[in-house]
A and B are shown apart, each in its own frame.
Chain A
Amino acid sequence: MSSEVLRGIDPRGYFATFIKEGVYPDGRGLLDEQKLVFKQGECGGVGSSVVSTQGVTVSCSIQASVSLVSDAPLVDIKIEGSQQLSEKDAEDCNSVLLSLFTNNCFVRRENLRCLDVCGKPLPLEWQLHIIVKVLSLEGNFLDAAVCALGAALVDAKLPSIVLNHSEGDESTIEKTQIQADYRTMHRLTLEEPLMCCSFGIFVDVNSDKKSEVLLLSPTLEAISVCRATCSVIVGKDDHMVMVRERGQFSSFSLLKKMCQITAERRHKFVESLQNVV
């Protein structure tokens, strides 16, 4: 009773009491990992996955269509909004995920060429239409969305394309000349999977030290009392492919710790994906 009153009246002081002891109010350590559960291939499309972690559950499905080779973007992402995720936040996350594709963090553009039965590239490209749905949202959306996208791409199987159009023919490729052969399926050649972790940086204003405490996967309630939040996405060679930091903080070396924690989590995710395949 008294702790709930304190929680409502002085949330910062309430959290400061626990964070000083190195735990969250629910007993979890400040840097303890949360469980990540994923499942592949149950949401339709050429590839799909459901990922649940840190209070966020996201489903991701990929539809593919054939297009002529061009400079246009080959990937479009639609994040279906919910009551918990506002349209503005959905647009923001959409641009983050698209920029990961633009920077070849998931799959290189040349690896989206259509292949014939023998695996030879054709002058056609796969266009991926990715639909991301939010099933529950109690933490940072990006944490689950990045893993869901990676798992869905691993799950994707694309048919062979039979093109009745000779190589020297300069006329336009007609729609009737393109056929899909579902007997021979191909998997995409992907970059290494990515991992996203969210952090909060808490500063106890009443303390003398005023040191910055790093929190892994803060809850929405904890985020409201944090001075800064940061999302780190780590990819191949444990390099940071994206950092999104909001709020003021002075210890730049905390970023190194964030990168290490995210890299450790990514290694576990990669092992799990390999075990499934």
Chain B
Amino acid sequence: MAGRLREMRCELSFLKNADGSACFSQGATCIWASCSGPGDVHASKASDEAMTLDISYRANCGDNKFNVLNNIIHSTLSNAINLELFPHTTISVTVHGIQDDGSMGAVAINGACFALLDNGMPFETVFCGVLIVRVKDELIIDPTAKQEAASTGRVLFSVCKGSDGHPEVCAMDAIGHWDFIQLEAAWSLAQPSASAIFDFYKTVMKRKLSVDEQ
């Protein structure tokens, strides 16, 4: 059980006002992600060379002005999407945490990717998130909230497909006492999980597009 992802579910295009939207869950952790744009950008934020990213993660309680996940999602999107195709525009990605049973960071990254896929953005590479925690020297993928609270170290990988098709690190946030061997073990554990998530992307997009063919 330590090496398996919880069950993933996804529903696309369920918000009619958003250009792309996704309801994504892993186990009991659920998020809603929406994506609108490219669209008008305020003059103070406009960039003549690339699209401006407006990322917002919102928990379902407390202050939503700042969240630690905004930075890693922003960095991941900058790498994954070709922003230079839409200069002087902005794209707004909002992720709402509906229910938190652990691995919220990974689920938020996956949900954001689904929303962008639903929007039809020009991807350079798909990305996904994998959270690994260490509980008494055992590494656990996709932990529940209990396992996350009991952990002594956690590392959130944002994984993207490299040019050779293998998973590569796109961003990483590690906290806790890690030595390199443990971190390398966590990364080798994260790669097959990332491949499984990429396969899930393919399955969901196939299902979405097959409806259009009917």
Contacts and interface: CB of A to CB of B under 8 A. Distances in A.
Tell whether A and B belong to one assembly. yes
Interface of A: 88, 91-92, 95, 99, 103, 230, 235-250, 252-253, 255-256, 259
Contacts of B174: 240, 242-244
Contact of A246 (B171, B178, B179): B171
B68 A95 contact: yes
Contacts of A88: 66
B46 interface: no
Contacts, number: 75
B139 interface: no
B71 interface: yes
A112 B176 CA distance: 21
A9 to B, nearest CB: 15
| Chain A interface helix/strand/loop/mixed | mixed
A242 B175 CA distance: 5
B172 A241 contact: no
B187 interface: yes
B172 A240 contact: no
Contacts of B75: 246-247
Given A247-B75, A250-B162, A103 B168 contact: no
A248 B168 contact: yes
Interface string B145-173: 00000000001000010100000111111
Interface string B37-71: 00000000000000000000000000000101001
Interface in B108-137: 125
B184 to A, nearest CB: 6
A245 B180 contact: no
Given A245-B172, A247-B170, A247-B171, 12 more contacts: A240-B177, A240-B179, A241-B176, A242-B175, A243-B155, A246-B72, A246-B75, A248-B168, A249-B168, A249-B169, A252-B187, A255-B180
Interface residues of B, number: 26
A255 B168 contact: no
B98 interface: no
B79 interface: yes
The 10 tightest CB contacts between A and B, nearest first, are A243-B174, A245-B172, A246-B75, A239-B177, A256-B180, A91-B66, A240-B178, A250-B168, A95-B68, A248-B170
Interface of B: 66, 68, 71-72, 75, 79, 125, 155, 160, 162, 168-180, 183-184, 187
Nearest to A90: B66
Nearest to A232: B174
Contact of B66 (A95, A103, A249): A95
B123 to A, nearest CB: 13
Contacts of A230: 172
Contacts of B155: 243
A103 B173 contact: no
Nearest to B66: A91
Residue with the highest number of chain A CB atoms closer than 10 Å, among B68, B72, B187: B68
A240 B176 CA distance: 7
6 contacts: A240-B183, A241-B177, A241-B178, A247-B170, A250-B168, A255-B180
Nearest to A99: B175
Contacts of B68: 92, 95, 99
B178 A252 contact: no
A91 B162 CA distance: 31
A247 B71 CA distance: 12
Nearest to B71: A92
A238 B183 CA distance: 14
B183 A243 contact: yes
Contacts of A252: 169, 184, 187
Given A248-B160, A256-B180, A243 B169 contact: no
A244 B178 contact: no
A247 B72 CA distance: 10
Contacts of B173: 243-245
B186 to A, nearest CB: 10
